[in-house]
Chains A and B, each alone.
Chain A
Amino acid sequence: EAGVTQFPSHSVIEKGQTVTLRCDPISGHDNLYWYRRVMGKEIKFLLHFVKESKQDESGMPNNRFLAERTGGTYSTLKVQPAELEDSGVYFCASSQAQYEQYFGPGTRLTVT
């Protein structure tokens, strides 16, 4: 069974540019989550999809972040325009069981 995959693995962009991160969850997992870890800090929740619906987006930092999950399969997270403080590692996770979340390898975003 394939795990959670994320693309790209690394992205370096300039301040003001746009970046789109992609996450492919484990097949059959209705729950999809986005988290991020800023340097030296804890992993923080961004949002949670159940199928294509946003269940909880309380962790989204501001309206420069837009997440979508069309068709309830893969998800994208767009940052537009990117700011320096957006740098960090963005993790995607998926689950069927409510407590066991499977994480992807992350996308390391560097905004210069």
Chain B
Amino acid sequence: GQSLEQPSEVTAVEGAIVQINCTYQTSGFYGLSWYQQHDGGAPTFLSYNGLDGLEETGRFSSFLSRSDSYGYLLLQELQMKDSASYFCAVRARGGNKLTFGTGTQLKVEL
């Protein structure tokens, strides 16, 4: 089976940088995705790492270390609208299903 751990809450100020960590245990790891969800709305795809290293998309970057079973999402130049829940999700070999972490509630303050 798979399990993922993320911090439950993170608070940061507008304009700052925040890092949300994700550690996972899985058999047959294939890739790590990140999703954003505002107030129970539709989870929105942010980033995917299939290989070790950093992927950058605008203000968002995601990192993966397969040897450490660890990844993180980095949000730069935080804005109030970034206040949301962030989920890491593992895709295992042999299928497309995602196994989600419990989510990190990010609160951006002035």
Contact = CB atoms under 8 A, between A and B. Distances in A.
Given A89-B40, A106-B40, A45 B45 contact: no
Interface stretch (A11-19, A36-44, A65-73): A36-44
B42 A103 contact: yes
Given A33-B97, A42-B103, A103 B50 contact: no
A74 interface: no
A45 B97 contact: yes
Interface residues of A, number: 29
B96 A31 contact: yes
B50 A99 contact: yes
B28 to A, nearest CB: 14
If over half of B's interface residues share one DSSP class (helix, strand or loop), that class is named, otherwise mixed; here it is: strand
Interface residues of B, number: 24
Contact of A55 (B41, B43, B95): B95
B95 A99 contact: no
Interface of B: 4, 31, 33, 35, 40-45, 48, 50, 87, 89, 91, 95-103
Interface of A: 3-4, 31, 33, 35, 41-45, 48, 55-56, 58-59, 89, 91, 93, 95, 98-106, 108
